[in-house]
Amino acid sequence: MEYKGRLTYAKGTYVEFVVAPNQQVDFGDILVVEGKNGDHFYVRAYDFKVKSRWSGVSNVGYLMSKLDESGQVTNQEELDFYLGGNHTVKIGMAEQLCYADGHGTLFNPKTCPDFFCEVRGLSANDTELLSEIKGDLELGFLKSGRDILELPVGIYGSKAITEHIGIFGTTGSGKSNLVKVLAGSVIDNASYGLLIFDVHNEYYRDLAKHPHIGERLKVYNTNPKADYASRLIIDYSAVGPDDITACATFSEPQLDALYKLSAVWQENWMRDVLAYDTADIIDDLNASTGQKFQQRTISKIKSVCWNLKQELNIGDDAVSTVSDMVTDLEHGKVVLIELKDISPLAEQALSTLLSQRLLQAYANKIKEERLTAKPVLIVLEEAHRFLGKKEHANNNVFAKLVSEARKFNLGLCVVDQQPRLLADKVLSQLNTLFILGLASKADRNKLEAMCRKDILQQRNEIKNLDCGEMIVATNYMRFAAPVKVHKFEDFIGRSC
Ligand SMILES: Nc1ncnc2c1ncn2[C@@H]1O[C@H](COP(=O)(O)OP(=O)(O)O)[C@@H](O)[C@H]1O
Ligand SMILES: [Mg+2]
């Protein structure tokens, strides 16, 4: 335990301490004030001031007279004599984060420490604090100022997953690496399912290095080129009209026709749309609804359906990726859906369709089934494409997931480089935030405005985050923690 100094002032949750000679304390350091009864006060240093008995104007003038006319030191020894000893002190200013009583129970601040109590660095013995921030899905090590402490930080999946997660950072800040580390921890833990929509097909190559992927990772690709991935196949009955509307813009009459078609033909409406001539479809709809749709309207629907059928292997197959995927996730596996080689429209339809089916499967569970099915986190990259202000208003499946998923044991992990593009309603529902480096002030301001107050206190730190560094803020933790995320390769190297 590193001795750092002594407490010199306390008021409410604010404390000041004198930094011991030769000790280093940085902005953002988390320190411990030893109380008198075996209790501890955890504080975070956020500012400093230097005080000296020489600080007064006349004293500064006297010191200046020891310098030559250009302000240079002429006699270092003499100056050291004046400045040395206890004449000059560095005062750290800190805010109390939480309090541990003599029995090791953690509380929000209860009281303030006494004068001249010892201040020291965090150590592995500070178990009451460390167990709260450790979680069961490890992500990195606690950072304290410029040091990385070998104290693991993570999240408790059972608390965080269904309360939704946001991962925000500029390109190159380490978002993908963080998702890989999260996936690695989910694989190790085996108590949660993780569904990752892999927009760049970037995850398998690294995840493959994990020792347990054989039984715990499943990869799907619509057109697999290597045998690690299974072919993604979808049966007609799994496709609903919402999946089609998610991927293209339709006019009012087109939307009307689409929903009528699915209402009239039910489960296999898409197969029939593709099988029948436009004229026959118009007649059939006319017979059952009395509406006469235009040829253009039906052709557009047919064309979108045809494209999707080709790209997403939609057909009459008995095996369907959808039910396999749901089963894998229920059993706590990581499922990767590789999307790089399909068109943006098909990608949106597929992400919507799979998420919709997963939501349905979980919503339809009876109570007993719900106890055994693992909580599932859906990772959605470039999330503003689905949850931007306009998209959210359409109440698509991701908007539904944000507002309803929690009661079904599902959660959304929103990954984005520009959080300001997300709908406010989405941001306000994210109860765990992983904030990586954000270059744009507008994005940082948005997060500060939408999120909890403790992020504001760390505004300076957030501004200066390097690649792979983040601030973790989650609703069950008493304070936001600065973290150096593990580099994926090093992390799995350590655990096996
Ligand atoms: N925690 C980390 N420790 C060390 N290097 C990292 C870390 N996170 C990311 N990197 C490196 O930074 C680069 C960009 O990371 P990446 O995760 O792809 O960023 P993003 O997805 O935000 O664009 C990668 O080369 C990666 O190896
Ligand atoms: Mg990335």
Q: What tens digit of pLDDT does each residue of 70-104 get? A: 889 888 888 888 887 778 899 999 999 999 998 98
Please, which residues have CB less than 5 A from ligand 2, an ion? 175-176
Question: How high is the pLDDT of residue 496?
Answer: 46
Pull the structure tokens for residue 277: 């001539």
Question: What are the backbone angles phi and psi of residue 420, rounded to the nearest 5°?
Answer: -65, -15
Contact 376, 334 (CB under 8 A): no
Q: What tens digit of pLDDT does each residue of 303-317 get? A: 999 999 999 999 987
Interval between CA 194 and ligand 1 midpoint (Å): 20
**Inter-residue long-range contacts of 369-374, CB under 8 Å, 24+ positions, other chains counted:** 370/408, 370/409, 372/330, 373/330, 373/409, 374/191, 374/192, 374/193, 374/329, 374/330, 374/331, 374/332, 374/409
State the Cα–Cα distance between residues 65 and 67, nearest whole angstrom: 5
Q: How far is CA 259 from the centre of its chain?
A: 36
In the predicted model, is pLDDT for residue 495 greater than 60? no
Question: How high is the pLDDT of residue 161?
Answer: 96
Q: What is the mean pLDDT of residues 165-194?
A: 97
Q: What is the mean pLDDT of residues 193-215?
A: 95
Question: How high is the pLDDT of residue 452?
Answer: 63
Question: How high is the pLDDT of residue 63?
Answer: 87
Pocket lining: 169 vs ligand 1, CB cutoff 6 Å = yes
State the Cα–Cα distance between residues 132 and 174, nearest whole angstrom: 24
Whether the full predicted model's pTM is greater than 0.85, yes or no, is: yes
State the Cα–Cα distance between residues 224 and 310, nearest whole angstrom: 15
Q: Is residue 181 within a helix (H) or strand (E), and if so which, with residue range?
A: helix 175-189
Residue nearest to atom 9 of ligand 1 (CA): 174
Q: Is residue 246 within a helix (H) or strand (E), and if so which, with residue range?
A: none
In the predicted model, is pLDDT for residue 454 greater than 70? no
Residue nearest to atom 13 of ligand 1 (CA): 172
Q: Return the higher-pLDDT residue of 223 and 71.
A: 223
In the predicted model, is pLDDT for residue 477 greater than 60? yes
Of ligand 1's atoms, which has the minimum distance to the CA of residue 202?
18
Q: What tens digit of pLDDT does each residue of 141-171 get? A: 999 888 899 899 999 999 999 999 999 999 9
Q: What tens digit of pLDDT does each residue of 384-422 get? A: 999 998 888 888 999 999 999 888 999 999 999 999 999
Pull the structure tokens for residue 403: 């507002």
Question: How high is the pLDDT of residue 333?
Answer: 97
Pocket lining: 173 vs ligand 1, CB cutoff 6 Å = yes
CATH superfamily to which 154-233+319-495 belongs: P-loop containing nucleotide triphosphate hydrolases (3.40.50.300)
Pocket lining: 176 vs ligand 1, CB cutoff 6 Å = yes
Beta strands in 331-419 (DSSP E): 334-338, 376-380, 410-416
How much of the chain, in percent, has pLDDT values that exceed 90?
71
Pocket lining: 417 vs ligand 1, CB cutoff 6 Å = no
- Residue 5's DSSP bridge partners are 19, 119
In the predicted model, is pLDDT for residue 334 greater than 80? yes
Residue nearest to atom 16 of ligand 1 (CA): 174
Which residue type sits at 369?
Answer: E
Label residue 269 by pLDDT band (50, 70, 90): very high
What's the CATH class of domain 3-134? mainly beta
Label residue 249 by pLDDT band (50, 70, 90): confident
For residue 86, give Cα distances in angstroms to 180, 243, 265, 303, 466: 51, 72, 88, 82, 36
Residue 480 burial (C-beta neighbours within 10 Å; 0-12, 13-18, 19+) = buried
Interval between CA 142 and ligand 2 midpoint (Å): 23
Question: How high is the pLDDT of residue 399?
Answer: 93
In the predicted model, is pLDDT for residue 340 greater than 90? yes
Interval between CA 176 and ligand 2 midpoint (Å): 4
In the predicted model, is pLDDT for residue 105 greater than 80? yes
State the Cα–Cα distance between residues 27 and 448, nearest whole angstrom: 19
Question: How high is the pLDDT of residue 99?
Answer: 95
Pocket lining: 206 vs ligand 1, CB cutoff 6 Å = no
Averaged pLDDT score across all residues of the chain = 92
In the predicted model, is pLDDT for residue 27 greater than 90? no
Domain boundaries, the chain: 3-134, 154-233+319-495, 251-302
Question: What are the backbone angles phi and psi of residue 59, rounded to the nearest 5°?
Answer: -70, -40
